[in-house]
Amino acid sequence: MKTSYRAIIGREFIDSDEKIEVKNPLNDSILTRVAVAGEELFSNAIEKGISAQREYIRMPIYERAAVLLKASEEITKNKEHLARIITLESGKPIKDARAEVDRASIVFRVAYSLCEEERGEFISLEKNPVSKRHFGIVRRFPLGLGIGITPFNFPLNLVAHKIAPALASGNAIIIKPASKTPVSALLLADILNSAGLMDGMLSVLPSRPEVIERILAQNNSIKYLTFTGSSSVGWHLKSLFPKKKVLLELGGNAGLIIDRDVEIASVVKKAVYGAFAYSGQICISVQRIFVHRDIFDKFLDTFVAATQELRLGDPLSENVDIGPIIDRQSIEKIISIIDEAKRGGAKVLTGGEVVDNILKPIVLTNTKPDMKVNSQEIFGPVVSIERIESIEEGIECVNSSIYGLQAGIFTNNIYNAFLAYEKIETGGVIVNNIPTFRSDNMPYGGIKESGFGREGVRYAMEELTEPRLMVLNLNV
């Protein structure tokens, strides 16, 4: 990692007097300093992006697609370097960081394939005498220039999920990466520029929240906002942008139902990963598990034992499962939530110790629905496991949340699988896998406090375009 990085407007590297210190979550050492963009730099990026987008939409589709494919290939070629940067700035274990790089490459490859198959619709309008020999053509047109705001936890792949659909559908985009993990986004922009992206179509501007708020509230040239992050911030930003397209992928506290007919050992292995991968700092991390009474005791004992086998340490080590929490403030917040649960009668079965900013994974039971461990998004290595009498009760427990991103159920009963699908109030129900599952081409997003709209390349492309009709009167 270099000692400093500049912001990027199109193909130009821009420095500024103000800098963000990017720290290693493991030991709080300063990794690098990154230029901070103010309103003037945003104005320059907006002007350049608008100009570029007008030219970009006239570019042949195959040229647009070629850049996306080249970017996918270059991401793969730079896998080890990108993975190391992800691990250094986010604390994600290196093996998971490599998986994130693979996913980012896939995102651009999917965008490439969808770009090449751009489609429209031809419809007959002959429904009455007035519309005799009238036909319609419907195509989707890009919204224009937008802003993408991304969180710290997937500093490469979630940036890819903003950029790739935007470019594939003809939109320019300015990325405001998380202040704690901006380097991955800057490297991705460099890769895209090297792949031949038109100058101005992409800018990456690390910045302050108040700058973004003013830009969104005051600049009518911005046509869309795509945001991934906390629910409170997301809904606040939407209020600043009431008449424009807003795509929100927000928080969750994913529930997982375990039916009585499952093979416990294999399910526990997946559930432990779902709860504690990247120290639970994932919006679809398994936070609440509801286990049928017939297997509750055995499941709980097996889960606790598997949790205690997880390997904690330096995330650059190949055999480490659990690395650090992103910062000390987050650790203190998690511990305060656990302390509240214990005061209310919850029992901690394992975990809770902190060493080198690493929080040992915590398993609780005897919790109550209104405790913060169940009612809020913890964003840490914490899971509660409770007994249920039936699948119907489990569904009620899952639905008691204010969030509705994804949920899961393990069952060998097809009726129970479809019951969960029909009754659980989330954007996605994952059967026989953890709710932490995500494939980068599937529709992804939530309801309730968990968001608005859908990501996943095809679905994001639809969100970032609007249908336009042309009517043909063939009577003349």
Give pLDDT, residue 457.
97
Q: What is the pLDDT of residues 139-153, one digit of tens each?
A: 999 999 999 999 999
Say which amino acid occupies 142. Answer: P
Q: Return the bridge partners of 469, or none.
A: 138
Q: What residues does CATH 3.40.309.10 cover in the chain?
A: 254-439
Instruction: Please compute the mean of the pLDDT values over residues 124-131 and round it to a whole number.
Output: 93
Give CA–CA dist 366/387, Å, rounded.
9
Quick one: pLDDT at residue 411? Answer: 99
Task: Give the tens place of pLDDT for each residue, 237-272.
Answer: 999 998 899 999 999 999 999 999 999 999 999 999
- Per residue in 51-88, pLDDT (tens digit) is 999 999 999 999 999 999 999 999 999 999 999 999 99
pLDDT band of residue 116 (cuts 50, 70, 90) is: confident
Q: Would you state the CATH architecture of domain 4-250+450-470?
A: 3-Layer(aba) Sandwich (3.40)
Place of tokens 């600049």: 219
User: What is the average per-residue pLDDT within 268-289?
Assistant: 99
Q: What is the structure's pLDDT at 299?
A: 99
The model's pLDDT over 336-391, given as tens digits with 9 standing for 90+, comes to 999 999 999 999 999 999 999 999 999 999 999 999 999 999 999 999 999 999 99
Contacts of 300 by beta carbon, 8 Å cutoff, 6+ apart = 291, 349, 365, 385
Percentage of the chain exceeding pLDDT 70: 100
Query: Residue 271: what residue type?
Result: A
SS3 1: coil
Q: Residues 326-334: what's their mean pLDDT?
A: 98
94-112 tens-digit pLDDT: 999 999 999 999 999 999 9
Give the pLDDT of residue 295. Answer: 99
Strand-pairing partners, residue 382, are: 362
Q: Is 115 an annotated catalytic residue?
A: no
Domain with CATH 3.40.605.10 in the chain: 4-250+450-470
Q: What is the pLDDT of residue 386?
A: 99
Contact between 312 and 325 under an 8 Å Cβ cutoff? The reply is no
CB atoms near residue 403 (< 10 Å)? 28
Residue 120 has a pLDDT of 86
Q: Rounded distance, CA 164 to CA 72, Å?
A: 10
Kindly list the distances between the CA atom of residue 423 and the CA atoms of 384, 416, 448, in Å, as whole numbers in the listed order. 22, 10, 15
Q: Which of 2, 7, 20, 15 is nearest to 204 (CA)?
A: 7
pLDDT more than 90, % of the chain: 97
From the list 74, 89, 283, 397, the catalytic residue is 283
Q: Which homologous superfamily does the CATH classification assign to the domain defined by 254-439? A: Aldehyde Dehydrogenase; Chain A, domain 2 (3.40.309.10)
- The reported pLDDT for the residue numbered 397 is 98
**Alpha helices per DSSP H over 5-135:** 39-56, 61-77, 79-90, 94-116
- Cβ-in-10-Å burial (0-12, 13-18, 19+) of 348 comes to middle
Question: What span, in angstroms and rounded, lies between the C-alpha atoms of 449 and 232?
Answer: 9
pLDDT above 80 for 118: no
Give me the mean pLDDT over the 389-415 stretch: 98
Q: What is the pLDDT of residues 174-207, one digit of tens each?
A: 999 999 999 999 999 999 999 999 999 999 999 9
Q: What confidence score (pLDDT) does residue 160 get?
A: 99
Amino acid symbol at 419: L
Q: What are the structure tokens assigned to 187, written together?
A: 């490297």
Our answer to whether residue 283 is catalytic in this structure is yes
Number of C-alpha atoms within 13 angstroms, CB side, residue 471?
A: 8
Quick one: how far is CA 231 from the chain centroid?
Answer: 13
In which order are the strands placed within the sheet that holds 121-124?
121-124, 134-142, 465-473
Using alpha carbons, select from 410, 441, 443 the residue that is nearest to residue 427.
Answer: 443
Residue type, 454: R
Catalytic residue among 74, 89, 100, 249: 249
pLDDT score, position 476: 83
- Cite the DSSP H helix spans in 279-386: 296-308, 328-343, 372-375
Is the pTM higher than 0.75? The answer reads yes
Residues 121-147: what's their mean pLDDT? 95
- Alpha-carbon span 21 to 29, nearest angstrom: 10
The tokens for 227 are 């945001």
Q: What angle do CA 301, 305, 306 make, to 5 degrees?
A: 115
pLDDT of residue 119: 76
